[in-house]
Structure 1
Amino acid sequence: MQKILGFTLLTAAFLILGGCTNLDQEFYDRVTPETFFKSEKDIKAALYRPFTHARWYLGEDRWNLQEYTADQFAITTKGRHWYNGGENERYHYHRWTPDDNWIWGTWRGTLMGVALALDTKQDLEKLDYTKFALTQADKDDHINQLTTLIAFFYLRGLDYFGGLPIFESLEGESLPRNTDKETFTHVETLLKEAIQKLPKKNAGDMEEGALRQAAAAALLARLYFNAEAYIGQPMFAECKKLCQDILSKQYGEYSLDPTWYGPHNFSNDRSPEIIWSIPSEFNKLQYDWFYNTFYHYNTIKYFGIDGGGWNGAHLTPSKKPTGEWYAEYKLGAPFRKFNDLDLRKKPYKYLGGGRYEGMFIYGPHLTPSGEVITGGEEYKDQPLVFVDQVGRFSEVGPGRRYASVSELPSKMSEGEENTGVRIVKVPVPNNTDKSLRWGADNPAIRLTEIQYMLAECLMREGDKGGAATLINEVRKRNFENGIDPDPVTAANLDEYRMLDEWGTEFLAEGRRRTDLIRWKKFTTESWWDHEPSDDHYKRFPVPTQAISGNNNLLQNPGY
C-alpha cells in the first residue's frame, strides 16, 4: 500500500472517522514499505509507534472518563481555581454533552490507535523479514502484537461508546458505526486469533511492554466479563474459564507479587504479577500525566523535588464538614474503605534507595525533615493540612460567611486548596534519587485483575467461599505479617463488598466506571454530591466533531 502525501491513508482515516490530528509522523510521496524499511531498527520504530500511542491513551481523557464520572475521584472548584467552565461538575453530575473535550479526545484517540496499529501491521505484513536478519517467528510476533493492540483499542471504544466503525484497511470513506454486537465479535475474533499465535512469558522474564499470550487472553476475559453491559448477554462462564487457565499458567508464567507495592514501584518491570505494562523512564516516555492534576503547588517540598503541581484532583470525601461519616452512601468514600491497619493507608514517605511506604497524602503537610509546609491560597502562610472532607472551612467564624461548621455545604463548588486526600499510586523519589523518577512502568494488566474477575464470577455462581479465598490471597499482602483484620467471608461478601475490593485494590487505575456499570450502579446509585442519572449515561455520546466530519455516524440514544 502506498503512502501518498496528503489526503490518504492515516490522514484520510481520521477525517473519514471524524476529525484529523497531528500524528507526529512523517509522510513521504509514494514510499512503499519495501523501500522505506532499511534495517531492523526501522521495523522496531514502526512497531513501537502505536505502542507509544497506547501509552498516551491509558491516561488523561480516558482515565478522566473512567474516574471523574464515578464515585472515587473529583476535581472540586477551589476558590478561584478549577471551575473550568463547569466541565468538572458536568462529568461528576452526569451532565456531559457531545461537545465536551474529554469525549472527543477519547473517540479520536481510540480510532487513531486502531489506524496506527493497522497501518503498521499492513506495512510489516509485506516485508520479507529474512532480508533484515529476522525470522518468520519475529514477524508473526510483531503482527500478532499489533492484532492484539487493535483489539485493545476497539475493546476500550466499545466500553465508552458502544459500536464503532470497523475498518480493516485504511481505504474507504465516511464509514458508519457497526453495531455493538458486530464490534464485540470483531474484538473477540481478533483476540482469539492472537492468543493462538503469540508467545508465552517464561519464568523470570522482565515485562518490557510487549503483548504476549496472557495479555490477549486477559483482554478477552475483560470482554466477556463485561459482555452483559456491552451486548446484553452475560458471559461470566466464558470469563471464568479464561481466568482459571491464566491462573493455572496455561498462557505463561505469572504469580501474585508478595508485596502491595511490587506491581507499582520503580522496578515493577520485574514484578511476576505484571501481564502487560507500558515502559516509563525519566526524560523519555514518562508515566507522569497525573502529577500536575493531583498535587498541590507546595507538594514539591513534601516530595523533596522540583516542579509544582496544579492542585486539582482528590478522592471523594469520607466525612461531612462536621466530621461525621457519610454513612448514608454505600459507594464512594474510598479512603475510609481502607482498613486503618492497611499498609497502603500510611502517608506516603520516600525512604531512599528506591524504597517507600504508604500511598496517600493527608493530614499535616511536612517536608521530609519535618518542617511545616504552608498554603498559598485560603491558607496562605498557614500550615497546610489535607482533609478527607469538602467544604469552605476558611469561611467559618465571626464575621465570615458561615457561623459554624454545621452550616457548611459540601459539594463540587466548595473546595479549598487543602481539600481531599491525594493518592501517590506511582512513587515519587526525592532529588537525591532523581534518576529513579518516573521509573515505575504503567501496569496496564495485572494478575490480580484476573484473580478478582474469577472471584466475582464465582460469587455470581453462588460460590462466595471460593471468591473470598481468592480475594484474601491478595488482601493479606496489605497487612503486617499477612494478618488481615477484616478478611472477606462468605457471610460479608455482597455486591457492595465486591465493589469495595475492586475499588481499594485498583484505586486510580482507570476502571471504576466500568465496574459500576457491570454491577448496574453507575446511573442508579447516589454517592457524595451525586444523584442517580438517566440510564443513557452508561455510554458516552458520539462527539459533535466526529459527526460533523462524517454524517454517516449515528448518535447514541439520549443525546
Structure 2
Amino acid sequence: MIVFAPACSDLEEELFDAVTEDNFFRTEEELISALGAAYTSLYGIMSNGGFVCIQEVASDEMVVPTRGPDWGDGGVWTQLHEHTWDPENDKVIGSWNFVFNGVNTCNRLIFQFTELGNPLTDPFIGELQGLRALYYLWGLDTFGNIPIATDFTATEPPAPSSRAEVYAFVEQELLEAIPLVTKDVGGAAYGRVNEMTLRTALAKLYLNAEVYSGSPQWAKAAEQCDIIINSGNFSLEPDYFTNFAADNEGSQENIFAIPYDEVFATGFNLAMQTNHIVSGQATYQLTAQPWNGWCAVEEFVNSYDADDLRKGQPGTEDGPSRVRGNFLWGAQWDASGTVRQMDDNTALSGIDPDGPPITLRTEINELKPNAWREAGARVAKYEFPLGTRPDMNNDFPVFRYADVLLMKAEAQWRQDNGSAEALALVNQVRDRAGIDPFNELTAENLLAERGREMFFELHRRTDQIRFGVWGDAWWAKEAKDECYELFPIPAVQIQSNPRLVQNDCY
C-alpha cells in the first residue's frame, strides 16, 4: 500500500460516516488509493503458503525435506517435490486462492470505476485490466482450464474455459491494456503495471504458447522482447546481486517488482523459511528464530561452475570466508565472524552425523522422514541484512531484464538453432556471471542457463515444462505422466462450484 498512499500536507480532516461513490473516488489521489487493493493481493506470492510453493518446491530447484519432527505438515511439502499432490493439498489451494483473490479484486474495482462514469478512471481501468491479465496468466500456467470471470455482479458460478480459450483471453486483455497504461517506468510507476510490464507478460505468454494453446508463437515472443530491449529503459546491473538487495528498488533490471516492506507490506519471509534454526539467527542476527526448511536440490547447486559468481563460496572451518551467492552452505559462524555455531541436536530426529559444529551441506541425505537439520544449501540470493525481521524489505522481481534477454535468445534459437544473436544474448548474461561463453546453444545448456540466472524467481517449473523435461525423474522423484504439468482444481472449489471440471490425473 506504500506505493499507492499519496502524500498529503493538508491535515484538516473531512469526516464521513461511510465510504460511498458520492464521497469517495472523486479525485485521482482517491482512485489511486483504492487501486492499491488490487496490488496488495500480490504480497501473498512469496509467503510460506503462497504461489512460490507450487512454482519452486515442485521444480528441480528446491525441496522442503521432513526433518524429523519438523516440516512433516501432513506430507504437503514432500508431495510437491514428488509430484504426488492431490486436490486437498493446502499449497495448491492457497495458490488457487492467490490467483482468484487477485482476479476478484480487479473485477470489483473495474466495476466500481466503470459505474462512476468519470473520465479520470479510464487509465486506472486499463491498469486493472492488465493486472487481472497477469493473475490469469499465472492461473493459465498452473491450473489450465479455469473460469474466465470478468463480471463482478454475476450471480451464477462461472463455467471453466479450455486452456486455449484462457490463453486467447489473456492475449486479448494484454493487447487491449497496453495502449491504456502509462509508458513511464520507475518513480511513481514503480511497482505498478505499465507498458513494459504488460509487454513482458505478453512475451512470456507467447514463449509458452505451444504449451498453452498448441501453437508456437516464437516470432511474437521475440517481437515483444525487442520492444523492451530497444526501449532503452533497462540494462543489466554490473553486480547480479544488486537486483536482490534489501533496498533493490533502484535496480535497472527490475521491470515489474512487488514492493515488500518489513512492516507495511509483509509476506516475503524467505529468511525464516530457509535459514538454519540456530546458525541462521546468529549469522544474520535475525529478530526471530528461523524455521530451517527450504533448501536447494544438490544437483541443481552443482549445475553452476565453481567460479560462477552467482553460486558463491561456502564458509570454511578456518573462518567465515564465504562469498555471497545464490546459496548458503559450509561452516557457519556468528555475525562477528569469531564464533563457530553449534547445534547439539542429538535429542532430535534428523541428527547431523558430524555432531554439534554446524556445517550446512549441499547433500540431502533423504527427503523424509529424517533429513539432517544441516542438510541442503540454503537460499541466499536475496540479501539478509543484520537484524532482518521475519518479513523482509527486498522487493520481489516478477519480471527482470535478464529474463527478457534470455527469452529473446530462446525465441530466436527456436526459429534458428544457429542464431548468432541468440548465442550473443546468452553469453551477455554469462559474462556478467564471470564464466566462459558458450560456443553454441543447445536445449540442454539453454535451459540450464535459465535455471542458474533465474533461480528462485518462479520460472523454473514453467521452463521445465516448455523444454519437455518436467516429467523426468530427478532426486527423490520418479518420472511422472505429463498430465501432472497442471495442478488439480482444489476440491473445495469444485464443491462450491460444480460446473468446474477436474484436470486429468486427479
TM-score, normalised relative to structure 1: 0.80
* Alpha-carbon separation, structure 1, partners of 2:246 and 2:18: 44
Amino acid at match of 2:379: I
Deviations 1:297-329 (A, max 9, x none): 111101123211111110112xxxxxxxxxxxx
Report the alpha carbon displacement of residue 413 of structure 1 after superposing the two structures with TM: 3.4
Structure 1's consecutive aligned runs of 4 or more residues displaced over 4 angstroms after TM superposition are: 28-32, 38-41, 204-207, 434-437
Candidates 354, 376, 385, aligned match of 2:359: 385
Candidates 354, 374, 380, aligned match of 1:424: 380
* Alpha-carbon separation, structure 2, partners of 1:90 and 1:281: 31
2:175 aligns to what?
192
Candidates 473, 481, 488, aligned match of 1:534: 481
Question: How is 1:135-150 mapped onto 2 (pairs within 5 angstroms)?
Answer: 136=119, 139-150=121-132
Q: Does 1:64 align with 2:64?
A: no
Question: How is 1:267-278 mapped onto 2 (pairs within 5 angstroms)?
Answer: 267-278=247-258
Report the alpha carbon displacement of residue 370 of structure 1 after superposing the two structures with TM: 2.6
Q: Is the 8 A contact 2:206 2:221 kept in 1?
A: yes
Amino acid at match of 1:302: T
Q: Is the 8 A contact 2:93 2:490 kept in 1?
A: yes
Question: How is 1:383-422 mapped onto 2 (pairs within 5 angstroms)?
Answer: 383-391=357-365, 410-422=366-378
TM-score, normalised relative to structure 2: 0.88
* Alpha-carbon separation, structure 1, partners of 2:419 and 2:302: 24
Q: Does 1:235 align with 2:217?
A: yes
Q: Secondary structure at the match of 1:34?
A: coil
Candidates 394, 409, 423, aligned match of 1:468: 423
Q: Is the 8 A contact 1:114 1:150 kept in 2?
A: yes
* Alpha-carbon separation, structure 2, partners of 1:348 and 1:428: 16
1:261 aligns to what?
241
How has the CA–CA distance of structure 1 residues 468 and 101 changed in structure 2, closer, same or farther, with 3 Å as cutoff?
same
1:458 aligns to what?
412
* Alpha-carbon separation, structure 2, partners of 1:415 and 1:246: 45
Report the alpha carbon displacement of residue 438 of structure 1 after superposing the two structures with TM: 3.0
How has the CA–CA distance of structure 1 residues 126 and 94 changed in structure 2, closer, same or farther, with 3 Å as cutoff?
same
Candidates 334, 342, 350, aligned match of 1:367: 334
Report the alpha carbon displacement of residue 412 of structure 1 after superposing the two structures with TM: 4.0
Report the alpha carbon displacement of residue 442 of structure 1 after superposing the two structures with TM: 1.0
Q: Secondary structure at the match of 1:390?
A: coil
Amino acid at match of 1:420: G
How has the CA–CA distance of structure 1 residues 308 and 75 changed in structure 2, closer, same or farther, with 3 Å as cutoff?
same
Q: Is the 8 A contact 1:207 1:276 kept in 2?
A: no
1:79 aligns to what?
68
Q: Does 1:488 align with 2:438?
A: yes
Deviations 1:266-308 (A, max 9, x none): 3321112111111122311135232222111111101123211
* Alpha-carbon separation, structure 1, partners of 2:328 and 2:355: 20
1:108 aligns to what?
97
- Percent same amino acid at aligned positions? 28
Amino acid at match of 2:262: F
How has the CA–CA distance of structure 1 residues 290 and 435 changed in structure 2, closer, same or farther, with 3 Å as cutoff?
closer
Q: Secondary structure at the match of 1:262?
A: helix
2:396 aligns to what?
442
Q: Secondary structure at the match of 1:107?
A: helix
Candidates 345, 352, 355, aligned match of 2:311: 345
How has the CA–CA distance of structure 1 residues 257 and 139 changed in structure 2, closer, same or farther, with 3 Å as cutoff?
farther
* Alpha-carbon separation, structure 2, partners of 1:439 and 1:477: 25
- For structure 1, the 5+ residue unaligned runs are 1-27, 130-135, 318-332, 350-355, 392-409
Q: Is the 8 A contact 1:34 1:127 kept in 2?
A: no
Q: Is the 8 A contact 2:273 2:292 kept in 1?
A: yes
Q: Secondary structure at the match of 1:263?
A: helix
Q: Is the 8 A contact 1:348 1:359 kept in 2?
A: no
How has the CA–CA distance of structure 1 residues 31 and 509 changed in structure 2, closer, same or farther, with 3 Å as cutoff?
same
1:303 aligns to what?
284
1:214 aligns to what?
196
Deviations 1:152-192 (A, max 9, x none): 11111011111211122111312110111221111111100
Report the alpha carbon displacement of residue 225 of structure 1 after superposing the two structures with TM: 0.7
Aligned length: 473
Report the alpha carbon displacement of residue 348 of structure 1 after superposing the two structures with TM: 8.2
Report the alpha carbon displacement of residue 473 of structure 1 after superposing the two structures with TM: 1.0
- For structure 2, the 5+ residue unaligned runs are 1-15, 316-322, 346-350
Amino acid at match of 1:488: F
How has the CA–CA distance of structure 1 residues 288 and 376 changed in structure 2, closer, same or farther, with 3 Å as cutoff?
farther
Amino acid at match of 1:195: I
Q: Secondary structure at the match of 1:210?
A: coil
Report the alpha carbon displacement of residue 440 of structure 1 after superposing the two structures with TM: 2.1
1:294 aligns to what?
274
* Alpha-carbon separation, structure 1, partners of 2:59 and 2:181: 35
* Alpha-carbon separation, structure 2, partners of 1:463 and 1:385: 45
Q: Does 1:97 align with 2:51?
A: no
Report the alpha carbon displacement of residue 475 of structure 1 after superposing the two structures with TM: 1.9
Q: Secondary structure at the match of 1:275?
A: strand
Q: Does 1:498 align with 2:454?
A: no
1:478 aligns to what?
433
Candidates 131, 144, 148, aligned match of 1:166: 148
* Alpha-carbon separation, structure 2, partners of 1:456 and 1:45: 39
Amino acid at match of 1:94: H
* Alpha-carbon separation, structure 2, partners of 1:187 and 1:75: 33
